[in-house]
């Protein structure tokens, strides 16, 4: 999956974190009834927030449980392909 999770925390820090196979694997273990493509297609807010949290945790940006981490977000995470930013 060639995606990055972009989010800003209330303290003004911005993050762009790659979505790795390990992140997807750990998220899918918690959500066995929800395919990742389905989470994006249906804009499953809880699932996508938990995916962003898993990315933040994996990349060392948080040690908080998800329900506490979401309180540090300034806005909802965005998902972008790195290719989208470099396309002309």
Q: What's the confidence (pLDDT) of residue 85?
A: 57
Q: What's the confidence (pLDDT) of residue 87?
A: 47
- Which residues on neighbouring strands pair with residue 79, listed in sequence order? 5
For the chain, 88 residues long, the average pLDDT of each consecutive 10-residue run is 92 96 96 93 95 97 96 96 63
Residue with tokens 């989470």: 39
User: In what side-by-side order are the strands of the sheet with 4-8?
Assistant: 14-18, 4-8, 78-80
Give me the residue spans of the domains in the chain. 4-81
Q: What is the dihedral of CA 34, 38, 39, 41, to 10 degrees?
A: -170
Q: What's the confidence (pLDDT) of residue 84?
A: 60
Alpha carbons 71 and 36: distance in angstroms, whole number: 23
Encoded tokens for 86: 């470099």
pTM above 0.75, yes or no: yes
């Amino acid at each position: 999956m060639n995606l990055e999770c972009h989010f800003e925390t209330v303290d003004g820090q911005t993050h762009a974190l790659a979505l790795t196979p390990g992140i997807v694997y750990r998220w899918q273990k918690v959500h066995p009834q929800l395919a990742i493509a389905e989470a994006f297609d249906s804009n499953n807010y809880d699932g996508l927030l938990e995916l962003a949290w898993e990315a933040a945790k994996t990349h060392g940006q948080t040690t908080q449980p998800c329900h506490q981490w979401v309180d540090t977000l300034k806005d909802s995470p965005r998902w972008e392909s790195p290719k989208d930013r470099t396309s002309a």
